[in-house]
Amino acid sequence: MSDFTPQELNIARQYDLTSKTIPFLDRHLVYPIVESLRDIYDDKVIAQLSLDLFKDTYMTQFVKDQYKLVQGSVPAELAEKEAQIEKTFAQLNEETKEILSVLANQEVQDHLKQDKSLNKEFLETEHGITEAKINKLLEFGQFQYNRGDYTMASDLLSNFRILSTNQESVISATWGKLAADILRVDWEQALKELTKLREVVDSRSFSDPLTQLHNRTWVIHWSLFPFFNSENGLEQLLELFMSSSYLSTIQAASPWILRYLIAAVVSSENSTKNNLSNPVFQKRLKDLIRVVGQEQYQYRDPLTDFIKALYIDFDFNEANVKLQEASVILKTDFFLQNIAEVFLENSKHLITEVYCRVHQRIDIAEISKNLNLSKEEGEKWVAHLINETKMNAKINESEGTVILEHQASSVYQQVIEKTKALSFKANQIIASTLQKQE
Amino acid sequence: MSRFFQGGLSDSDYSSSEEELLSSSEEELLNSSDEDDLSEDSEFANDDDSDDSESDSDDDQKGPSYFLKKSFVKDESDDDSDDDKKVVKSAKDKLLDEIRGAITIIDSSKVINEWDSVLSEFDKLNRLLVRAGQQNVPIPNMFIKSLVALDETVTNFNSDPERKKLNASMSKAFNTVRQRVKKSVREQEKLVEAYAENPEAFEKDDASYSAQSSAAVLEQEETEAPIKPGKSAHTAGIFRVLRSVIESRGKKNVDTADQIKQLEEAVELASTPYEYISLYLRLIPLRFDAAANTGLSPEQFSATAKDINALFEVLEKNKATYAVLETAAASDDIEIEPTPNANGVCEILGSVVSFVERLDDEFTRSLQQIDPHTTEYLDRLRDEQLIYTTIVRAQLYSEAFIPQAEISKPSADQLSRIIVRRIEHIYFKPASLISLNERKTWESLAFVSQKSYIAEYSDAADYTDKLLDALSSVLYKQTTATYRKRAMLSHIYYYAFNNKYYKARDMFLMSHLQSTIHSSDAGLQILFNRALVQLGLCAFRNGLIQDAHQNLFEIATSQNLRELLGQTYQRFNNQQQQQQSASATDRQRQLPYHTHVNLDLLEAVYLTSALLIEIPQYAAGVLEESKQKQAKTFGKYLEGHEKHYFQGPPETTKDHIMHAAKALQKGNWKNAADLLTSVKVWKFFPEAETLRNQIREQVQVEGLRTYLFQFKTLYSKLSILKLSQLFELPESKVSAVISKMIFNEEIAAGLDQVSNTIIFTKGVKLTKLQELALSLADKSVQMSERNERLAQQSNNSYNGGSSSQRGSHQNQRQHQNKNNSNLKYAPVTGALSSAPGSISGALNGMDRRKRTTTARA
């Protein structure tokens, strides 16, 4: 529990997405999210949740601790299980030792080539490594992952992937490696894995479209981890989520992801830089508004409401209220904590922008109130804005207003704008066609 | 002798099992080929000519189950004399005689190279064989003999120099004969080989066969003669009655009424379940036969329903020992009970599901025939409860034999058929009515112990939803696409009708039916249109004007709206080939009146949504290219309305809406709202009052927009306060609407926060020339874009797009995105732009086919 007011807690709990995202995440991946819920729930609840989460895994030490927290005692069968796990571990360790030592051999490494079937032949004849032994690697990798030794799991799985020729197992190893990398907080590696998975999911022809849909929802959910934590992740997230197939996946199967999409669009770097003239951002915003409007009936939270209030209903007061609520969510949501500040800053920017587009004369007092700033701060804010975006606006200090000059572009200007690029384009087409003929 | 009985038996079952095999498109083909058969038959069944032509013309009006009777018609024409017993003999012998005669002609004609007569006789021979097959007469050996001989002659003659001397028509006939003979030889391969090995055996068999058959006939005559049906109470008597009935089934001049009476009496005498079951299994089809041409009268109908239910009762009581299955083996002798299978259940061949289906067909047919505005129709409609209960009962019975795990296997087909029927009875009803129906049904079925694993009845409020979900999900698991589509569309219709717009819409979009519906049969296409219309009405009820307009646009403006919705069988056709009332299939396609969509309502909804969307656009003056296309229809109506010299007070729905449109254009939103809400058909919507309020609100907003567009040039400033008073809207709402217009650059203006006014930018009124210049510029941009795309496409196809510049790459991506941005709606518009049109296209296609068949006939 931390420093939130009861109302804020209420909002945070009401819009907590954990229960919705859990089905799409791996057990281990849920843990950090559950951990982050400490802000809004009791420690006791969290302990219970973590216990439920890990009861079936091999992380006995951790489970013991949680039992102590929740019940005060550790059930007897746990010790038994622990022994069992130790035994399996020793066995698997023994079984994979051989192959690992072979792989560690410099000579062998030099021999390995691009072609997997060749490699397999080579290993089998020279070192007696059969398919079954290779598969042990996968098993051990899964075991290690389940034990919570993610680094080891990641290594094992990547070794397995190099050797195995079984397409299915390679894919599941890739999923496993992605999870392990996420949990090791190795974002760079995780992103690489993610790209591989995306290729698989998008390119493979699934017999059942539903399977592909499921795979996509997993990609979407898992990718939230690296995207929100790595540099330039937001850009990549937008590229992925805004692509048509993923956008419709979000709409069809997991509308709550809209929250992250909104957060990413608003907080992406583009929005701070002169966004009126940035076509990429405008396009994304337009798509976002459309999707939010369409999904109103399925999913609502303060973030979607904010977008709706600002861009669909043009209700600035409402937008402001929703922004306040959204700020709580941003601070409590596991993924959004990093970008909370940027988001709030940028959304103020957006409000002002729309405000200026519609108005000709603005009362500074009014807009300051809308932005939750004091009057002086508001004036500064506006001055800063004018400076930054080179808007055609002046502050009338004595009246306390801002006057904005909307210039209707003249007809001539419009026609020139539209037709300006035409001849260039035509030339381009001709050039490329000629090139092709050559 | 048993062979005859077997023939009779399998024939009667054939008719019922045939029903489900036929999709409606096949029906027509079969029908036409059937007619060919008939005309051919009359050649030798000469004393029956008049009868034949009668049944021929009857065929056109027999309604939904006309194809059921096809097999009966066949039988009728087969047997032509009055006396049953003689018939058996003469039909068979006559057949053999015919075959013999044809063979003789062939033999003589082929010698003198009269190939055209060989051809016609050979065709006739093949037809006779088909009939022989129907009567369970094996292929006569003399046919094989002659076939082999003919084959030889043909092969020899083909290389003969004389062949070249034939004139054109003979040569053509010869070629045809050659092909047909080859085909026949292939079909009868085994027999032909057997003949080649041992021709003598064939000669002998032939003789013995005819002897045997005549002996059988004689024997039969003896046994049949002393029967006095229904007089004695013994089992033997019951089966004697049964046998006589089976025998005469489908024959001419049999007094079915009398037979029914006999059977009814026999039922009273019956004592064992097996007797009951056997009797009912004959009695019920007989009842259907009795009214084959006229349709069941209400009395007959209830009698039949009673019998079916009685049959169920017997079956339910003796579930452990007897079962009527479609998959059971046919028994040779009806007197002997079939031996129980491993579980101790005697399986009897028959299909209770087809009885219920037939009953349902009869019901629909009578509803189609009765004038829907009479009390008779209402009286008839009361029977629906009875039918529905029976259907549910049949479903329960089928469930008893089909375990849940096997539900998607082909063997579970009868269950799917009955579920389709059940859905058909409920999908178009409001939830409250369905639950009422269900309650009554389950009350009357309380004594049935079988529990449904598909959908158990409950009192819960969402029972109907669950029921539909459960029933449809059974059908979704079927392998037959028609069941799946039908279930999907009914499901969508149900949700749309019961005001669950988003659910219905999502199902509609995800079903991807739009892409395949064109190739479905007309019944499904009609259902598709109905679902689409219902979706539109639902959108309107939920205040989603844009969606409603989009859904209804194409279908509401269509010329043959009624036809597309299956609400009439009259067709708009300029060519008057089939002016003579519609054909049987068309009639069959027509839906009973109580399931119809209210067309007035459809029109009102469409016009109102069009008004709300288009009037502000008109006022705005510059219509965008894409919108203009849609706007046309309403504009046309409006223009037509303005042309009238005298405009009286509004009377029809359309008048009201046109007057409202004019009022709105003048800025008089109150008047417009009054006119719109006074339209009478709204009362057909469940929550009329909220709907009226909703329309009023919409008119307020659109009125404000129209006002601003219309008069923006006359003002330099407008007070928001005044606008809010004028349109009775809260100030915040007014400023929201205006903000939106400014943001979307619909009007050139800005708000003044201090004085709370809207300030219009001056000097933006365009001259005509300037407007044209702008649109010219737009168009050239479009053209250039199109050009670019074209160039890129060819580029990509040649070199994989590797050489295209970076800039164009980006453009391309934007293009893709633009297309994809519509992804969610794309299927709907796709459907709208093509579905109704192509459906009428499909109907026309059918016309053409029919024309050719009539020409052939």
pLDDT, one tens digit per residue, over B731-761 is 888 888 888 888 887 777 888 877 888 888 7
Q: B703 in helix, strand or coil? A: helix
Q: Which of A4-13, A400-409, B664-673 has the lowest mean pLDDT?
A: A400-409
Residue B477 above 50 pLDDT?
A: yes
Enumerate the residues of chain B whose CB falls inside 8 A of the CB of residue A408: 748, 761, 763-764
B736 and A314 within 8 Å at the Cβ level: the answer is yes
Distance of CA B612 to the CA centre of its chain: 36
Scored b (16 or more CB within 10 A) or e, B529-545 reads bbbbbbbbbbbbbbebb
Chain B residues within 8 A of A360 when measuring between CB atoms = 749-752, 759
Residue for token pair 């599941």? A172
The pair of structure tokens assigned to B310 is 């009685």
Chain B touched by A420 (CB under 8 Å): no
Residue A139, chain B, CB below 8 Å: the answer is: no
Give strand ranges (E) for B60-105: none
pLDDT at B27: 43
Contact B753, A366 (CB under 8 A): yes
Confidence of residue A315 (pLDDT cuts 50, 70, 90): confident
- Per-residue confidence (pLDDT) for residue B339, from 0 to 100: 67
Region A163-172 average pLDDT = 79
DSSP string, A163-217: H---HHHHHHHHHHHHHHHHHTT-HHHHHHHHHHHHHHHHHS--SSHHHHHHHHH
- State the Cα–Cα distance between residues B669 and B703, nearest whole angstrom: 5
Report pLDDT digits (tens) over B59-69: 444 444 444 44
Distance, in Å, from the CA atom of B106 to the CA atom of B114, rounded to the nearest integer, reads: 9
Whats the size of chain B, residue-wise?
857
B759 in helix, strand or coil?
A: strand
Name every chain B residue with its beta carbon within 8 A of the beta carbon of A406: 748, 750, 761
* Amino acid in the structure at residue B265: E
**Is residue B808 pLDDT above 60, yes or no?**
no
**Between residues 727 and 786 of chain B, which touch chain A (CB distance below 8 Å)?**
732, 735-736, 738-740, 742-743, 748-755, 759, 761, 763-764, 766, 770, 773-774, 777-778, 780-781, 784
Three-class DSSP category at B757: strand
Cα gap A268→A265, rounded to integer Å: 5
In chain A, residues 366-385 whose CB comes closer than 8 Å to chain B: 366
Q: Which of residues 247-266 of A touch B (CB under 8 A)?
A: 247-248, 251-252
Q: What is the DSSP string of B204-231?
A: HHHHHHHHHHHHHHHHHHHHHTT--TTS
* pLDDT at A240 exceeding the cut of 60: yes
List, in sequence order, every residue forming a beta bridge with A395; answer none if it has no partner. A402
Band (B250; pLDDT cuts 50, 70, 90): low
Phi, psi at residue B81, to the nearest 5°? -95, 170
Question: What's the average model confidence in pLDDT over A136-148?
Answer: 82
Size of interface A-B (CB pairs under 8 A): 116
Give how far B791 is from chain A: nearest CA, Å.
Answer: 7
For residue B203, name the pLDDT band (cuts at 50, 70, 90). low
Question: Which strand (E) or helix (H) includes residue A396?
Answer: strand A393-396
Structure tokens at B535: 């979706």
Total length of chain A: 438
Residue of A nearest to B739 (CA): A358
Mean pLDDT is highest, among A293-307, B229-243, B569-583, B620-634, for A293-307
- Pairing state of beta strands B322-325 and B346-349? parallel
With CA atoms as reference, the chain B residue closest to A290 would be B821
Per residue in B307-364, pLDDT (tens digit) is 888 888 888 877 777 777 776 766 666 666 666 666 667 777 778 888 888 888 888 8
Q: Which span out of A393-407, B136-150, B666-680 was modeled with the highest average pLDDT?
A: B666-680
Calpha distance A304→A287 (Å, rounded): 13
In tens, the pLDDT along B131-155 reads 776 666 667 777 777 777 777 777 7
Q: Report whether pLDDT(A404) > 80.
A: no
Torsional sign, CA A140, A145, A149, A153: positive
Q: Which residue of A has its CA nearest to B506?
A: A252
What mean pLDDT comes out for the span B185-196? 72
Q: What is the mean pLDDT of chain A?
A: 80
pLDDT for the residue A269: 63
> β-strand A401-404 against A359-363: which pairing, if any?
antiparallel
- Per residue in A25-55, pLDDT (tens digit) is 888 888 888 877 777 777 777 877 787 777 7
Q: Which residue in chain B is spatially nearest to A286 when comparing CA positions?
A: B821
Task: State the DSSP code for B66.
Answer: G
Structure tokens at B220: 């039969």
Which of A258, A291, A300, A360 to substitute to test the interface with B, most B CBs within 10 Å?
A360
Determine the pLDDT at residue B22.
Answer: 42
Q: Which residues of B touch A286 (CB under 8 A)?
A: 821
State how far the Cα of B544 lies from the Cα of B609, in Å rounded to an integer.
9
Query: What is the distance in angstroms between the Cα of B650 and the nearest Cα belonging to chain A?
Result: 36
CB of B802 within 8 Å of a chain A CB? The answer is no
Cβ atoms of A362 and A385 closer than 8 Å = no
What per-residue confidence (pLDDT) applies to B764?
A: 59
Residue B610: name the closest of B666, B554, B562 by CA: B554
Q: How far does the CA of residue B491 sit from the closest CA of chain A (Å)?
A: 19
Q: Strand pairing partners for A60?
A: none
CB neighbours (10 Å) of residue A403?
A: 17
Select from B378, B322, B386, B370 the least CA-distant residue to B349: B322
Q: What is the mean pLDDT of chain B?
A: 70
User: Which one, of B810, B821, B812, lies nearest residue B791 by Cα?
Assistant: B812
Q: Which of B743, B763, B780 sits opposite A422 (nearest CB)?
A: B780
> pLDDT of B81-123, one tens digit each?
444 444 445 566 777 777 778 788 777 777 777 777 777 877 8
pLDDT of residue B4: 42
pLDDT in tens, B372-417: 888 888 888 888 888 888 888 888 888 877 777 777 777 778 888 8
Rounded Cα distance, B597 and B594, in Å: 9
Residue recorded with tokens 């407008």: B718
pLDDT in tens, B6-58: 444 444 444 444 444 444 444 444 444 444 444 444 444 444 444 444 444 44
- The residue among A249, A123, A124, A229 whose CA lies nearest residue A181 is A229
pLDDT at res. B698: 87
Do B821 and A287 lie within an 8 Å CB cutoff? yes
Give the closest-approach CA distance of A291 to chain B in angstroms: 9
Q: In the structure, what pLDDT confidence band is assigned to residue B434 with cuts at 50, 70 and 90?
A: confident
